[in-house]
Structure 1
């Protein structure tokens, strides 16, 4: 089932997610719905706050590479980034909760992440490149941060009217969204 994606401006996107337990209600269904939602919206990652849940859960699927090799696909429960290393590199990022805005964001290329998968198996993994970037972006969501928080004050000021328009629902997307400041028509 495709879930509505929460738009910029909703307080749930600024909350630090809480850890979840193995008996979290309908967890497998939630994970399946998040993958359906992410694929429908053409995303490579989706965090639970983006579907309205302030919990420490996100998914990643970078898709197949140019050579047809399988991409990096994982479920991250209660993740912790233990280490970020390497020379920071800039990449143009976007976000399903902030449609039509892309910004150059600097992140370190190598991470060590600890997490539980959908079967509650614990992993500690070294990840690099695009997969590391996507993990860092989604991890930021469960920490109550958005990629727009990483741009300069000047750039954020320049984006303010676009961000306000998104929060009010004055934007068209190919996927269902929930807007925090959309005025109700009477």
Structure 2
């Protein structure tokens, strides 16, 4: 489970739409394990394969140790609630930069497991926010794009200054 280098904002790979996973084998499991190790080292609660430059629809979440690790292959959101919530978001690709994003409070989604079996599930609150955030990344939408232009410009300027 090597820790992989994480693409840093504004790397163009963070705008890449990821391809569906079509082969469910030991290399996919190894990629998920590498993602988990990389996410924990970052640290973060979610990561996609795109964050390490592998443009496949793979997401790993670990919101807390008690809930365990969640692996989603080819996740796709099928329904969004009208009710929204605000939550502070950031990215392992832009460490230290956070801002408040408004997203639907609840979702329904479809995904595959490590063997390729299809599942449908629902999520609310923090889990729903995290899944939306990571699916956005798989779709080439970096979280900053969910901010107003003013908030985004201020945050990018502050982050770039901190990078030296």
What's the TM-score, normalizing by structure 2?
Answer: 0.91
Name the CA distance, whole Å, in 1 between partners of 2:96 and 2:30. Answer: 29
Q: Which has the larger radius of gyration?
A: 1
Q: Structure 2: 5+ residue runs without aligned partners?
A: none
1:146 lines up with 2:142 in the alignment = yes
Write out the 4+ residue segments of structure 1 that deviate beyond 6 Å after TM superposition.
Answer: none
Structure number with greater CO (CA < 8 Å, separation at least 6) is 1
Deviation at 1:161, TM superposition (A): 2.2
Do the aligned residues in 1 keep the contact of 2:25 with 2:115 (CA within 8 Å)?
Answer: no
Deviation at 1:56, TM superposition (A): 0.9
1:118 to 109, 114, 119: 114
Do the aligned residues in 1 keep the contact of 2:24 with 2:116 (CA within 8 Å)?
Answer: no
Query: What secondary structure does 2:128 align onto?
Result: helix
1:42 lines up with 2:39 in the alignment = no
Deviation at 1:119, TM superposition (A): 2.0
Name the CA distance, whole Å, in 2 between partners of 1:25 and 1:141. Answer: 24
Any idea what the Cα deviations from partners look like across 1:137-159, whole Å, max 9, x if unmatched? 11111000111111111112222
Q: Structure 1: 5+ residue runs without aligned partners?
A: 65-69, 172-186
Name the CA distance, whole Å, in 1 between partners of 2:37 and 2:54. Answer: 16
Distance 1:24 1:18, change over 3 A: farther
Q: Which deviates more, 129-138 or 72-81?
A: 72-81
2:104 to 94, 108, 121: 108
Query: What secondary structure does 2:70 align onto?
Result: strand
CA RMSD across the alignment: 1.8
Q: Counterparts of 1:1-186 in structure 2 under 5 Å?
A: 1-23=2-24, 26-64=27-65, 70-71=66-67, 73-164=69-160, 170=163
Whose helix fraction is larger, Structure 1's or Structure 2's? 2
What's the TM-score, normalizing by structure 1?
Answer: 0.81
Query: What secondary structure does 2:78 align onto?
Result: strand
Query: What secondary structure does 2:96 align onto?
Result: strand
Name the CA distance, whole Å, in 1 between partners of 2:31 and 2:38. Answer: 10
Name the CA distance, whole Å, in 1 between partners of 2:74 and 2:64. Answer: 23
